[in-house]
Amino acid sequence: MNYSLLEDLIDVLKQYEEENGSANLSEFSAWLFEQQHQKAADADLQGSPYIHHELNESIMQQLVDIYQHARHYIKTALKSTPLKGIFDFSFLTSLDELGDLRKSDLIHYNTVEFSPGMEVIRRLIRNGLIEDYDDPNDGRSKKVRLTINGKKTLEQVKPTMSKVYHIVAGNLSLREKRNTLSGIRKLTHFHQPIWEQQHGEDLDKIATFDLQSQSVEQS
């Protein structure tokens, strides 16, 4: 029996898990279909820098536009609460799901710069939604945890935020949602190492880091 197809499938499954995390059969099937569907189109674009530039510009603009729409919906959802924005909500959600965290870890987990992240933490403490205490394992650090009021506020806000999720996803079909999520996860997988290792560097250095990372992945 020829197992070459199975070997190819295992390699593709590894690629999917590297880009998207845990494997789900239906999501993997949709991802694989999209990958195969795009191969012919991608081959046509390889020799056209102008088309790449045009697509890159469009992706950037569309992401900014979607962010602005989402920001408006979130602001509307939180207007009658003590929460001031998405990071107030996501910080509370992180503590609820992960338990007590050091301040720096909470900020890093939510992909926020340190100073704005500390402002979010100070605001949540002032509003009585979280509280800080000395880290028993590190006297130089403080950890934060949800208060009873913070837990109550989070539970009150979650149903409204679910409406935001529904609105942002808009009129995408189930397949389109899966394909969109796959592409976004792939972008996140690409950009996260830059955030962790090259944050604050100039664009030329970041571009060099990108090329080095791609070379490692392809080797």
pLDDT in tens, the chain (219 residues): 566 777 777 787 888 887 777 666 777 777 777 777 676 566 655 656 777 788 889 999 999 999 999 999 999 999 999 999 999 999 999 999 999 999 999 999 999 999 999 999 999 999 999 999 998 888 788 999 999 999 999 999 999 999 999 999 999 999 899 999 999 999 999 898 888 888 878 888 888 876 565 544 544
Q: What are phi and psi of 114, to 5 degrees?
A: -65, -50
Q: What is the DSSP letter of 87?
A: H
Q: For position 140, what pLDDT does the model report?
A: 82
Judge whether 29 lies within some domain: no
Block residue for tokens 């880290």:
135
Query: For residue 68, is it within any domain?
Result: no
Question: Does the residue 207 lie in any domain?
Answer: no
- Residue reference for tokens 């060099």: 208
112 falls within a domain:
yes
Structure tokens that stand for 5 in this block: 């197809």
Residue 153: CB atoms within 10 A of its CB come to: 22
Tell me the sheet residues that pair with 131: 145
Residue 28 lies inside a defined structural domain of this protein? no
Alpha-carbon gap, residue 59 to 54, rounded angstroms: 9
Domain containing residue 135: 76-164
What's the pLDDT at 219? 44
Question: pTM for the complete prediction?
Answer: 0.72
Contact 157, 89 (CB under 8 A): yes
**What pLDDT was estimated at residue 101?**
96
Interatomic CA distance for residues 193 and 29, integer angstroms: 27
Give domain status of residue 47, yes or no. no
In a domain, 146, yes or no: yes
DSSP 129: S
Write down the pLDDT at residue 109. 94
Are 138 and 153 spatial neighbours (Cβ–Cβ below 8 Å)? Answer: no
CATH of the domain at 156: 1.10.10.10
Question: What are the DSSP E strand ranges found in the chain?
Answer: 101-102, 130-135, 138-146
Residues 6+ apart with CB under 8 A from 130: 91, 92, 95, 121, 124, 144, 145, 146, 147, 150
Domains of the chain: total: 1
